[in-house]
Amino acid sequence: MTIKITGTGSALPEKIVTNFDLEKLVETSDEWIQKRTGIAERRISDGETVSTLAADACRKALEMAGKSAEDVDLILVATCSPELLLPCCACQVQELIGASGAAAFDLNAACSGFLFALNTAYAYLHSGICQNVLVVGSEVLSKLVDWKDRGTCILFGDGAGAAFVEASAEDIVRSNGRRAGLECMVQGSDGAKGMVLSCAERAVNNAFTAVRQTDSPYIHMDGQEVYKFATKQVPACIQEALDKADLAADDVDWFLLHQANVRIIESVAKRLKVDIARFPMNIHRIGNMSSATIPVLLDEQNRSGSIREGDRLVLSGFGAGLTYGASILVW
């Protein structure tokens, strides 16, 4: 059996917000932001929603895979910023793209969400429950950002990325001898550090109890703690996946990491002793889109022709929870 990605897609809001635009909102500068994060601009919703962005990305992934919405058995949407608590975003996407025969549900592992969803898709496909799965990461974080907090408002953007993942009975071997498909997955969580990156929900308020909301409804982040976690846990997670697959870092062609901060990506490359040129980045023009960063980057690399058949990829990221994960696959 081969379980592989056969189509990718992405969707970004049209509105571009530059660092110079943010200079008008908070005490910051383009130089300060770029030096500390690598971000020059980001896309911000001007009406696009988590579900509409996700649906657009799904349509593109289906087109590339040569499939129709009727072929989809399951839709998994990773998001931490849905418009509605009910119904879930995945059901909204199902309706928007016309996948009437598909089951659909959301999952939330924040910036690690796409990886967790991809691993979930693998389980459904490997068990034979499904044959075709749409895996999506979609966010509109701009509604969760305190635009007066320069520590967070400079980081985040909106967008969606999708992958069409399918199972086939035969083993597909590429010309370089590598077997196509997902090779290895590692994921984990550290709830003890959960509150270093948080966003409050509604407080208890019913006919019998009322708890005063004490937390801000916006994203709160202890940047130093998140940085320390990421620079330690991400390379460790990648190494665990490599060891599990009996591979070395030199066996990997591309490392597609969560686009949170250019310094984190550079630190991971250094710890793994891998040339930074093998870590493609788009953070400078898109920013941190949480669960959407990895699938958007994957789609861009795929459509540009940078990724070729037989290439081995590592997808890895971290996020609120705290969560982390890594997947190894051959294109």
Q: pLDDT tens, 246-277?
A: 999 999 999 999 999 999 999 999 999 999 99
| Residues 108, 28 share a domain | yes
Q: Is residue 136 part of a domain?
A: yes
Please give the average pLDDT of every successive group of 10 residues along the chain, which has 331 residues: 95 98 96 96 97 98 98 98 95 98 97 97 96 98 95 96 94 92 94 90 80 77 93 97 97 98 97 97 97 98 97 97 96 97
| Residues 227, 132 share a domain | no
Q: Is residue 247 part of a domain?
A: yes
| Residues 218, 102 share a domain | no
Please identify which residue in the block is written with the tokens 């967070």: 152
Q: Where are the alpha helices (DSSP H) in the chain?
A: 19-22, 30-37, 50-65, 89-97, 113-127, 150-153, 223-244, 262-272, 283-286, 293-304
| Residues 80, 191 share a domain | no
Q: Is residue 38 part of a domain?
A: yes
Phi, psi of 133 (to 5 degrees): -130, 135
Of 141, 168, 195, which marks where a domain is finished?
168
Neighbour-count burial of 190, counting CB atoms closer than 10 A to its CB (0-12 exposed, 13-18 middle, 19+ buried): middle
Domain extent at residue 326:
181-330
Q: Is residue 71 part of a domain?
A: yes
| Residues 194, 238 share a domain | yes
CATH of the domain at 65: 3.40.47.10
Q: Which of 72, 19, 79 is nearest to 49 (CA)?
A: 79
Q: Is residue 174 part of a domain?
A: no
| Residues 197, 326 share a domain | yes
| Residues 318, 185 share a domain | yes
What are the DSSP calls for 186-251, one per residue? EEEE-GGGGGGEEE--PPPBSSS-B----S-SSEEE-HHHHHHHHHHHHHHHHHHHHHHTT--GGG
| Residues 8, 106 share a domain | yes
Q: Is residue 173 part of a domain?
A: no
Parallel/antiparallel/unpaired status of strands 132-140 and 74-78: parallel
Of 168, 194, 227, which marks where a domain is finished?
168
Query: Looking at the 3D structure of the chain, how many domains does it have?
Result: 2
What SS3 class is residue 20?
Answer: helix
Q: Which residues are catalytic?
A: 111, 258, 288
Whole-prediction pTM value? 0.95
* % pLDDT > 70, the chain: 99
| Residues 321, 244 share a domain | yes
Q: Is residue 162 part of a domain?
A: yes
| Buried residues in 19-40 as b, exposed as e (16+ CB within 10 A) | beebeeeeebebeebeeebbbb
Q: What tokens appear for 84 in the block?
A: 């509605």
Note the pLDDT of residue 210: 75
Q: What angle do CA 45, 318, 94 make, to 5 degrees?
A: 50
Note the pLDDT of residue 216: 74
| Residues 185, 160 share a domain | no
Q: Is residue 217 part of a domain?
A: yes
| Residues 225, 139 share a domain | no
Q: What tokens appear for 330 in the block?
A: 């051959």
Note the pLDDT of residue 213: 64
Note the pLDDT of residue 205: 80
| Residues 225, 155 share a domain | no
Of 109, 140, 168, which marks where a domain is finished?
168
